Amino acid sequence: MRRGAEAIFCSIPARIGLLGNPSDGYNGQCISSLARNWRARCILTPHENRWDFSITIICGGETMEYKSLADLAENQPDLSEDGISRLVLGALIHFQEDCVASGLAIEASGFKLELDTDIPRQVGLAGSSAAITAVIRSLLTHHGLGTALPPHAVADMVLKVETDRLNIHGGLQDRLPQAYNRMLHMDFREELMVGRGWGAYSHMDESLLPKMWLAHGEKGEESGKVHADLPGRWAEQDPVMVRVINELAWCAHRGKEALVSGDMVALSNEINRNFDLRTELFGEETLGVNLEMVRLARSLGSCAKQPGSGGAIIGLIPDDEFMERAAPAFAEHGWELVSLEMS
C-alpha cells in the first residue's frame, strides 16, 4: 500500500487456510498464508477541493454517489443483495460509525473509491475479507490513521463488518494473514480470547512452504451456510465436535513443527488428516464435490484439503509431473488447477 500525491493504493491477496481450520472459531489453532495469484485492489482518490465532501464508489460495474460518508451512514442502502458493492458499502458505513462511536476524530473529506477483485468467489479464499480489508486500510491511510490500529485490530474491524453489517459468518483466521500481510500461526485458546480479545499470532517465514497447488470450481457455497450449525453444536459441547476441534488444533501444531523442520511427509500427513477430520465434522454430503476432488487429488499422488469452506482444494506438488497430469483430470470436472504464489 502506498499514498501518493493524488491516490491511495491498497492490494490485499487471497488467504489460504493451510492447517487447523475450522478450529479457529472454537479456541483452536490454525496456520494460514497468502495466495498472491489473486488480489482485491482498492484505489482511493481524494477530491482536490477540500470542501467537496461527496464520495463516489465504483465497483462491480456500478457507480454510486453520496453527499458524504456521514450521509451514507445516515441513509444506509439495502445491504442484503449479494455482490461486491455491499462489501464496500458495509465497510464504509462501519468505518464511519465506528469512528464516531469510539470518539476517533476523522476530518470530513470527499473521495472517489474504486475496488476490483479477481479472487474467485465463494471458494474459500477469503475474498470478502480481502475486499473489506482493502477498503478499511485505504480509509485509515486517507485519514492519517494508517498506524493507529495494530493489525489484529484491523482484522477485528473487518470481522465486525462481515458479521454485524453483512451477516457473513466464518472463522476468525480469515482476515488475520491479510491484516498482517504474512503467513501466521494463530492460537485462539480461550484464556487469550476471553482475557484480552485476541489470540497469539506468530509470523512464519513463507520460504518454509513447499511448492503448492490449488484447484477450484466456478463458485462454491457461502462459508456462513456451511458453518451454520457449528455454533449450536459447540454450545451444547457435542462430543464429536469437541474431539474433532481439538484434533484439528493439533494438526496445526504438528504442521508448524513439520514446516520448521522441513519434514514435508509429515506436513502432507497433517493436510490429509485435516480434511479427514473436517469430513467427520461436516459429513460427506455437506462436502459434496469437494470430497470428490480431494479423492481425485489423492489418486494422483498428492495430499489435499480445503483452504476454507468453499469450492476449492489445495495440496503439495509431489513431483515435477504432477501439474501436467493433474490439470486435465481436474478440467474434466470443470475445475481449474494453478500453482500457488505464496512468497
Q: What does the block give as the cell for 47?
A: 477530491
**CA pair distance 126, 274, nearest whole angstrom:** 19
Active site residue 174: yes
C-alpha angle with apex 45: 40 to 46, nearest 5 degrees? Answer: 140
Q: Which member of 98, 116, 164, 174 is catalytic?
A: 174
Of 211, 191, 312, 214, the closest CA to residue 267 belongs to 211
Of 221, 241, 246, 312, the closest CA to residue 282 belongs to 241
Three-state SS across 310-324? CCEEEEECCCCCHHH
Q: What does the block give as the cell for 120?
A: 474467485
CA separation, residue 221 to residues 60, 169, 228, 290, 314 (Å): 20, 12, 12, 11, 17
**CA pair distance 330, 250, nearest whole angstrom:** 30
Residues near 211 by beta carbon (within 8 Å), at least 6 away in sequence: 316, 317, 339, 340
127: left (phi over 0), alpha (psi -120 to 50) or beta: alpha
**Which positions are annotated as active-site residues?**
174
